[in-house]
Amino acid sequence: MGVLKLRTTKEDTDKQFILATQPQGGMTFNGEHYAQFGNGYRATIHVVDMPSELADFWLYPLVSKEGVIATVDYRQDETIDYDAEVTETVNLVDSQIQKATGTELTELEKEYSILIDL
């Protein structure tokens, strides 16, 4: 007795993928900050401005919650010439290094090194 083989098309595969990944249950928007699905919640956070100095792992408290799956994406403002901005900052730090002494000199040299690596 032969084994019956079912042929699957790309359309069948796509339908199976959609069935496997679609939200379970209805969607509700109980507030403007998140959407509730049958299997959890979803939200988007836009960071539109940041301080000039950030602590290491500054985003960790947001993305390390139990049961949270986070995707981090970023974009740059296309109207800003970042090369020119970095060059200007390097020149400024270099001029400050010429006048600095002691601890301030050490800190400025670290900052200069970071900027050069950019």
Is residue 74 one of the residues assigned to a domain? no
Q: pLDDT category, 93, cuts 50, 70, 90?
A: very high
CA distance linking residue 34 with residue 87, whole number of Å? 41
Could you give the C-alpha distances from 35 to 6, 67, 97, in angstroms and in order?
39, 16, 51
What percent of the chain shows pLDDT beyond 90?
12
Is residue 93 one of the residues assigned to a domain? yes
pLDDT value for 11 = 62
Is residue 6 one of the residues assigned to a domain? no
Decide if pLDDT at 13 tops 80.
no
Cβ neighbours of residue 42 closer than 8 Å, sequence gap 6 or more: 34, 35
Indicate the SS3 state at residue 98.
Answer: helix
Is residue 108 one of the residues assigned to a domain? yes
pTM, full prediction: 0.40
Is residue 97 one of the residues assigned to a domain? yes
Q: Which amino acid belongs to residue 51?
A: P
- Of 58, 73, 118, the C-alpha closest to 93 is 118
Total domains, the chain: 1
Query: How many Cα atoms sit within 13 Å of 51 on the Cβ side?
Result: 5
Is residue 38 one of the residues assigned to a domain? no
Is residue 69 one of the residues assigned to a domain? no
Is residue 105 one of the residues assigned to a domain? yes
Domain extent at residue 89:
82-117
